[in-house]
Structure 1
């Protein structure tokens, strides 16, 4: 909907035009009536119009000056002059400002204004279409370039280096020259908290595009001799070229550069990325070997600190295999997950995680142990509630496999343990009807996103209206009330055990409107999230 502004110190004229035109019927929004150019200009700073119809002679600022100032900010602004002046020099100035129409008040007919507005709408529609096509073309070019860069870096890592000269030439096509006598330092950037990032940006493509933009803009703004390559949505590779010798400490420069990029990502996207700086190389072949060593060091990557910038080290891939202490704590946790003592679950889960970190267990081993424990607890809950086993194993497996660091896995595991406690609390209250039981199970597994009655009814092959009545009859509350209650329970858990801001907790629970989330929480808990957390800390 295009926005229209009317400016004239003759208020009856403004009143006539505003009431004589069916703005909504034309697909227009009348955003303001102003009696002088200065007032209109100040309003435009907060809400720029697409169309302006203005008088010329007005106090404080005339219409021609107003249009000149507005067109500096919005060159494609559609404008018309409505005036009692018929002198040629006024019309001449209007033409210079690309004003499409010059209408005289004494011959004004509302039908002329309507005709003029239709012309403006046609022009704006055409401009919008052209701009959309141009943006699509630019996006396609950027996407193709990104795919070429990804293909290049993957080939560098995984394929034999047959022709160093050809490799240098291809690197140059991406804006980075690498000559004899120079060194190239590789850096691997790993996005922290990937599941949260995906929830924020909805798709991996959008997330990748956002990261690419921020990193590329930072490189250009700082003037670094560097090229950025997206290896995956989680992993970036940066190559930096420095002169050989002692004049410049390339590693310190790399550290500063990654710090700047990390700050830009945090400030712009509210995400964190950790960086590992590899060994400098004087040839493509040595660079390939350096990247291979860095990517093979899975233990260093997994047990990294979020947001860190470190020099990559070798020889850290030895993983612990002792399960005695971990299994002992795990058995205790397995039993606690069937009960309702959140404090005991938190303490025991924290003990298990501390032991796993101390032993530096291999990521695959640790993930497998967690999955078995959580799935075993869920099966026991389902048996106790006489539920039909939900198809949750694949969902849990997919989630845990995407976690690329111990801090992420730690937060995920703690959240899943508390979810199991929440589900256990509901076991005695849930219906013995398998459809309702499965719906409740689905909700507990997907509290991190929007859940609609229609979606769940479709999964159960039920009519939404029938499912709604069935759920209310069996549980005593509507499905939406149940979802909200479960989300508010989770919100309390997150407020209790994390320092995450309310905005992030709101997003974590699938709400895109923070004010609405706060209103729901206050209705549920009697206080706002901030007040709740403050009381818990005081207690």
Structure 2
């Protein structure tokens, strides 16, 4: 009997898998199943399965990361991936993971499952391990990651070159070029879910590996958020090294577009770089987003381009003049006006060379405010995760435009209410949950992920009151009800509503109710 372990955060799917086939008839035994990646690691160590069937899109550790852990613990284990994404066949064509199969949940049949398991059993019998000492597989990836960390960390060149030679990478020439490949999230978001990002990045890495096999001196590396390409070369008048490197990167982009239906972004540093200088240049590229206001494919001919500060902090209230215009455009469903405003914002940001981090932050504040006003109370957090990671103005603005178009199409209006009236439920809920606290507009803005000054203007425009007046008014309504039905004294009532001083509570009560708490209680108790 071969031991099988099942992992899926969708518990009903675990039951479906358990009941789909006669496992014992295929000399298979399910020795464990779990919905948690953390529990899966402990269970794997305990039961030592021969075959693991795991969902890719797991929270915490995803399926790829789990497979990495499993194969380090037991190199001969067989892996079968599950995915629920209908467009996953694009990734299937490209991912060269040494796994046995990829099964789409909605299309899974008992015949497909039996066929995949039969393949795993056949490979187990032939003792072909998942990890091999070669150019592909998890061991090679881990070795390469270790090598890249040595390069980036500035380890002595002789030890770095020695380690590279040990894992089969020959860097015999003195000069390097550096490339990075990232994903344009506006193309990724159209076809994939956020949980599949690591898989698609791994797919790009494997395409890069396959192409590099025919390219002397080119070594791809996989990082958490992008791919790094190093090109080791010598100066040769007979060959244009820069053109050679660009040709490789362009073929990589074309393959990604064809197979995965996504658009990568490329940065190529074609100046001659010594091994020990790569780490600093890499950090500047990744952290500074030097290409943000340039085209998708950005070439650095001189490293001074990225060493010199390029961006300016965003002025306070940079988008303030655009927000009312955008709100009116959304109210009117005027898509042309929305696009025009976004184009003007982009032109201004580029002309002022505003720091990408500041720019994305202000755009996010604007989007959250508009989303709060016109849509349901659940924010689309994936969008904001993507925005933080975008590396070009074009990618950023396309995501923002797509979201505003979605808000315009889906905005919900209360029957009988004017179109511009926003919803107060989320704010009211927060106030009710914090009646005993002295909450401020800053607290509320932080809860909503909004800029405090924007929230104050938005709230005044929405209600005609300042947030402080609104909170006091609401608490006094609660106080009047409590004075009618409760026997608690004024001190405890005041503290329960967030007023530590009885005198101040009485003053606020009289301002909003027109009488003192004692007078109000006396009057209503008589009735």
- TM-score, length-normalised on structure 1? 0.49
- Larger C-alpha radius of gyration, 1 or 2? 1
Structure with a larger share of its residues in helix? 1
- TM-score, length-normalised on structure 2? 0.50
